[in-house]
Amino acid sequence: MKAEGVAERWCELRERVAEAALRAGRRPEEVKILGASKGQPPEKIREAFSAGLTLVGENYVQEAEKKRAALRDLPLSWHLIGYLQKNKARKALALFDLIQTVDRPEIARKLSGLAEETGRRLPVLIQVNVGYEETKAGVLPEDLFELARLVKDLPGLELRGLMTIPPYQEDPEAVRPYFRRLRELRDDLREKLDLEGLTELSMGMSHDFEVAVEEGATIVRLGTALFGPRPPKGGA
């Protein structure tokens, strides 16, 4: 990529997202860019905010806690995009505006109970393991309906959509079937559960986001393409 700073990269990425959307007959405004900022210092997020970023995704509860404190003055929306352990649920609820990684009944019930205590309804996405990878989190497609019905009925949660991390492929075109699958799963669920609000599709990362947008992504999660290479561990 030729652009150098975070602000320049933001502008270039917005353009590429817009072009991909238009290619698929979609409106560019339908696609939000989430800055996947794990391992990046708060200053990088601040730079991106100045350029137009409003949505931040963090993988770890503790790391998010520090950065949120450092960026308290900015009106950012924070999403959890990493695996959530049950014993971190309370903290996660306090830190995040939306949790993208609900993937099992146990964590859904836990979050709902905690949200209810605070009189809140927490927006969530369900993470789906569309590639059937043993190393990845996410509910399997055949178990999705059951979990989605549970989440829909839990009083502390509001089901907004689906999220996936497909198998890594060198060629972004090879990932297209996984993105398409997630869209089909969402469309199917929306109809079966009669849930108008089930709209979000969080899919696509730095090397394959254009294909994801062509297949219907509403949130693309960009890390290195926006912030540059992640500093070595401990560098944030």
Ligand X SMILES: *Cc1c(COP(=O)(O)O)cnc(C)c1O
- In the complex, the residues that contact ligand X under the rule CB under 6 A are 36, 38, 59, 81, 165, 205-206, 221-225
Q: Which is nearer to ligand X, 13 or 111 (CB)?
A: 13
Q: How many whole angstroms separate alpha carbon 30 and alpha carbon 197? A: 14
Identity of the residue, 60 or 145, whose beta carbon is nearer to ligand X in the bound complex? 60
Q: How far apart are the C-alpha atoms of 69 and 50, rounded to whole Å?
A: 18
Between 129 and 154, whose beta carbon lies closer to ligand X?
Answer: 129
Instruction: Determine phi and psi for 102, rounding to 5 degrees.
Output: -70, 125
Minimum distance, C-beta of residue 67 to ligand X, in the bound complex (Å): 15
Contact present, 176 and 215 (Cβ < 8 Å): yes
* Other beta carbons less than 10 A from residue 18's beta carbon: 16
Smallest gap, in angstroms, from Cβ of residue 83 to ligand X? 9
Residue 38 Cβ, how far from ligand X at the closest point, in Å?
A: 5
Residue whose CB is less far from ligand X, 113 or 224? 224
The residue of the chain with the least Cβ separation from ligand X equals 223
* Residue 221 β-bridge partners: 34
**CB 226 → ligand X: shortest distance, Å?**
7
The rounded distance, in Å, linking the Cα atoms of 117 and 228 is 40
